[in-house]
Amino acid sequence: VETTNAPPAPARERHDELVEKIRAHREAYYQQDAPLVSDSEYDALFQELELLEARYPILAGQDSPTQEVGGEVSAAFAPVTHASRMYSLEDVFSLEELDAWLERAGANANRLHPQIPVRWLCEVKIDGLALNLTYRDGKLVRAATRGDGTTGEDVTHNALTIADIPQQLAGSGWPAEFEVRGEVFIATEDFNAYNEALIEQGKAPLANPRNAAAGSLRQKDPEQTAKRPLRMFVHGLGRSRDFPITEQSQAYELMRGWGLPVSPYGRVVESLAQVRDFIAEHGEKRHELIHDIDGIVVKVDDLSTQEQLGYTSRVPRWAVAYKYPPEEVHTKLLDIQVQV
């Protein structure tokens, strides 16, 4: 790969064009909760941009979408600065790319901590939207969307209407103050029932569970949010000082005990072959899960290794998202006119 080349005019023009398109799609997806194109079409544009910037690094300025966590803060909500930054995830689209990623991260982890065998935390990638919960003395004090990763939107009143989110943690031993991140979603069964009710009332059904969840959480009026069947599973920690743990999977066990909703689908494995088994297994039964997924997330389970591997401006270096190939969606509801 030539990296020092000045980009020729067509490359610059294509770069400008891709940036403009990606920005417009992000605006529709994150601000309006109403995407203009499918996720795989968006992913293809983003991948093309990444490849172009790998070829001509000078194009990868700080304001490129490849350097930012997508999503801005709508003026409709009060801004909240997260105690620790929220990130996106690096995507891979083939098993070969995934193996290469895991081998590289595994080698880096081994170099940092030769005495700790690398264990991989495999999870399903929930197709919803991220929410950051802050607990102080066991009490929920704030809920905020991811926004641009640094600043999110205050949706505390809306989050308080979600039954899965405890307002007071159970048990004891929680850190005095900590952030826990998770994904808000609408379960497939609830989504179908909700849409059937809308159709019976002669109303237009919602297009898909992800956008319905995002639109529902980002309502101005919490009473409207309360009417939507929102759920949540936690999938990470934010600022979490005084958390007496060494692995993320261990944090989940503690959080489960405190009444936080932990996904039933995660598993810690020790080899790349076992990661592949997890992917194959969940690929086959992806429609049997209670919610939509758009891939699998594989994380280094050890928290000190996570900390040392660190982050780029957009993604952690200790986690990766494997995206399943796009599939045709056939549901009973999609046979009728669906308003996008």
Phi-psi region of 259 (alpha: psi -120 to 50; beta: other; left: phi over 0): left
Q: At what angle do helices 9-26 and 39-55 cross, to 10 degrees?
A: 150
What whole-number distance in Å separates Cα of residue 323 and Cα of residue 292? 13
Residues 149-168 that bind ligand NAD (CB under 6 A): none
321 binds ligand NAD per the rule CB under 6 A: yes
43 binds ligand NAD per the rule CB under 6 A: yes
Q: Which of 15, 25, 282, 291 binds ligand NAD (CB under 6 A)?
A: 25
318 half-sphere exposure, CB direction, 13 A CA radius = 23
The distance of closest approach from Cβ of residue 200 to ligand NAD in the complex, given in angstroms and rounded to an integer, is 29
- Identify which of 93, 117, 84, 115 has the alpha carbon closest to the alpha carbon of residue 311: 84
Segment contacting ligand NAD by CB under 6 A, of 22-30, 189-197, 222-230, 300-308: 22-30
Longest dimension (CA), the chain: 63
Q: Exactly one of 21, 125, 203, 220 is catalytic; which is it? A: 125
Q: Is 125 a catalytic residue?
A: yes
| Length in residues, the chain | 340
The helix/strand count (H/E) of the chain reads as 10, 11
Segment contacting ligand NAD by CB under 6 A, of 6-14, 35-43, 162-170, 240-248: 35-43
Q: In this structure, is the dihedral angle defined by the CA atoms of residues 49, 50, 52 and 53, taken in order, positive or negative? A: positive
What whole-number distance in Å separates Cα of residue 268 and Cα of residue 101? 18
Q: Which is nearer to ligand NAD, 11 or 243 (CB)?
A: 243
Q: Which is nearer to ligand NAD, 29 or 138 (CB)?
A: 29
Q: Which is nearer to ligand NAD, 294 or 301 (CB)?
A: 294
Q: Which of 65, 70, 175, 316 binds ligand NAD (CB under 6 A)?
A: 70
Positions at the binding site for NAD(+): 39-43, 88-89, 123, 146, 183, 299, 323
**Site mask, ligand NAD, residues 229-248, x = CB under 6 A?**
------xx------------
> What is the DSSP-derived secondary structure letter of residue 42?
H
Helix ranges restricted to H, the chain: 9-26, 39-55, 95-112, 156-159, 188-200, 209-217, 222-226, 248-257, 272-284, 303-309
Residues 296 and 279 sit within 8 Å (Cβ to Cβ): yes
What whole-number distance in Å separates Cα of residue 270 and Cα of residue 109? 13
How many of the chain's residues bind ligand NAD (CB under 6 A)?
26
- The single residue listed with the structure tokens 């102080």 is 136
> What is the DSSP-derived secondary structure letter of residue 75?
T
Helix (H, G, I), strand (E, B) or coil at 181: strand
The distance of closest approach from Cβ of residue 59 to ligand NAD in the complex, given in angstroms and rounded to an integer, is 20
**Site mask, ligand NAD, residues 281-300, x = CB under 6 A?**
-------------x--x---
Q: Which is nearer to ligand NAD, 71 or 138 (CB)?
A: 71
**Site mask, ligand NAD, residues 88-127, x = CB under 6 A?**
xx-x-------------------------------x-xx-
- Residues of this chain that interact with ligand NAD (CB under 6 A) are 25-26, 28-29, 35-39, 42-43, 70, 88-89, 91, 123, 125-126, 130, 146, 183, 235-236, 294, 297, 321
| Residues annotated catalytic, as ranges | 125
